[in-house]
A and B are shown apart, each in its own frame.
Chain A
């Protein structure tokens, strides 16, 4: 059965510093991977997705993620964060059927 682990529940980082939010998954088949962002008092919106092809995926707002099949990881990165990146980030995995599993989320705190 598929599962998703977000290793950090909270990540504090200084403004303009780089950040990496970690996500590991388990699945016995090929997967599709997603990162969603939830700004305060809003629903989730898609940040980026990996379906196939290049393992480096670029998303909105300068974020990118790298699919690593051997390590079953899909970590999210941004080279320089801004105060507006303060949000909760969710990693999600699908095996191509109608089931999608979400991680428990990582809160990104941007420090001035």
Chain B
């Protein structure tokens, strides 16, 4: 089954404690992306990757890091989380072309206390 898998689904943690949210896709997609969803703001792109070892900043990259060492995986790293990073996070993937629809994971709800 084609899918994008995120882990964990839920996480409550404290300010400053490094965390990683994993994302994996099994569709051989070149393009992967991270979004955060906040009430009234819709989805905002954090980082995206067009292929292995190629990553670029989205609209709200501050406080986040990503890596793309393998085609299937695109982890999101919060080196020193802060309360304003409390949000619902989605990973998505698609084929390279912009007219291809994105496939989304089920989301990760992060609470930073």
| Chain A residues packing against B (C-beta within 8 Å) | 9, 32, 34, 36, 41-46, 49, 51, 90, 94-100, 102-105
Contact = CB atoms under 8 A, between A and B. Distances in A.
A9 B40 contact: yes
Interface in B42-69: 42-43, 48, 50
B107 interface: yes
Query: Looking at chain A's contact residues, is the secondary structure mostly helix, strand, loop, or mixed?
Result: loop
Interface residues of B, number: 21
B40 A97 contact: no
Interface in B63-105: 90, 92, 96-99, 101-102, 104-105
Contact of B42 (A42, A46, A105): A105
A79 to B, nearest CB: 24
B104 A45 contact: yes
A96 B98 contact: yes
B20 to A, nearest CB: 19
B107 A43 contact: yes
Contacts of B99: 32, 49, 51, 94, 96
Contacts of A32: 98-99
